[in-house]
């Protein structure tokens, strides 16, 4: 196995273990899960903390999420595209929140440490990906697509976070229905004001 492949295999094996045991994970557990000798880990990583850091970097990496957003079928109706995007983004956030919790961290690591990019840049990229996904349907919105993207992100954040949502997270269909339709019963265009 080439070193790069070995590195990937170790991170893949370590990821669920770090999500479960936090930094209390042992290299023995990681080696067992990867089906390799414990010493093999140290040919790729200087120590256990470096494996944990590599897992953090991977979980925060926005690229897989951006690829999933880019791959959403543009032939689907807007509502379904947004629901799919919400699933993808909730998935990522659940991983991030779960990792922070497992590590006993309260906020994301500083960019200099383990994050591939500053949070602002990542959020900008997600907003751009959502706006791109809205595409020509922007004309059916009463705000620019970029603002819909911002609001979607805010709803997903608080609607997914276990503590902020008081253990009552919103599901993707709920989030998209709030985002597009709101919660008032639609009446006619003229008689819309409550």
Residues of this chain that bind a second copy (CB under 8 A): 77-79, 106-107, 119-120, 123, 137, 140-143, 147-148, 150-151, 154-155, 157-159, 163-166, 168, 170, 177-189, 192-194
Integer Rg of the chain from CA:
20
For the chain, report the end-to-end CA distance as a whole number of angstroms. 65
Q: Which is nearer to a second copy, 4 or 139 (CB)?
A: 139
C-alpha to C-alpha distance for 78 and 93, rounded to whole angstroms = 22
Q: Which is nearer to a second copy, 48 or 119 (CB)?
A: 119
Distances in Å between the Cα of 25 and the Cα atoms of 6, 40, 105 are 19, 17, 15
Distances in Å between the Cα of 91 and the Cα atoms of 11, 87, 96, 161, 172 are 19, 6, 9, 11, 10
Distances in Å between the Cα of 180 and the Cα atoms of 64, 123, 131, 177 are 26, 21, 14, 5
Q: Which is nearer to a second copy, 73 or 166 (CB)?
A: 166
CB of 104 to a second copy, least distance (A): 11
CB of 32 to a second copy, least distance (A): 34
CB of 82 to a second copy, least distance (A): 8
Q: Which is nearer to a second copy, 43 or 192 (CB)?
A: 192
CB of 101 to a second copy, least distance (A): 12
């Amino acid at each position: 196995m080439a070193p790069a492949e070995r590195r990937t295999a170790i991170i893949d094996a370590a990821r669920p273990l770090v999500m479960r045991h936090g930094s209390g994970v042992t290299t023995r557990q990681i080696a067992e899960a990867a089906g390799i000798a414990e010493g093999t880990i140290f040919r790729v990583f200087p120590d256990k903390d470096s494996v944990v850091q590599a897992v953090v970097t991977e979980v925060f990496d926005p690229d897989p999420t951006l690829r999933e957003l880019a791959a959403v079928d543009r032939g689907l109706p807007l509502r379904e595209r947004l629901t799919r995007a919400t699933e993808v983004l909730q998935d990522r956030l659940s991983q991030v929140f779960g990792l922070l919790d497992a590590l006993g961290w309260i906020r994301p690591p500083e960019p200099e440490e383990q994050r591939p990019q500053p949070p602002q840049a990542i959020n900008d990229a997600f907003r751009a990906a959502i706006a791109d996904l809205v595409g020509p349907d922007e004309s059916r919105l009463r705000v620019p697509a970029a603002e819909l993207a911002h609001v979607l992100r805010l709803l997903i954040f608080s609607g997914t976070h276990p503590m902020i949502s008081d253990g009552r997270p919103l599901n993707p269909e709920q989030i998209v229905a709030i985002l597009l339709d709101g919660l008032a019963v639609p009446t006619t265009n003229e008689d819309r004001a409550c």
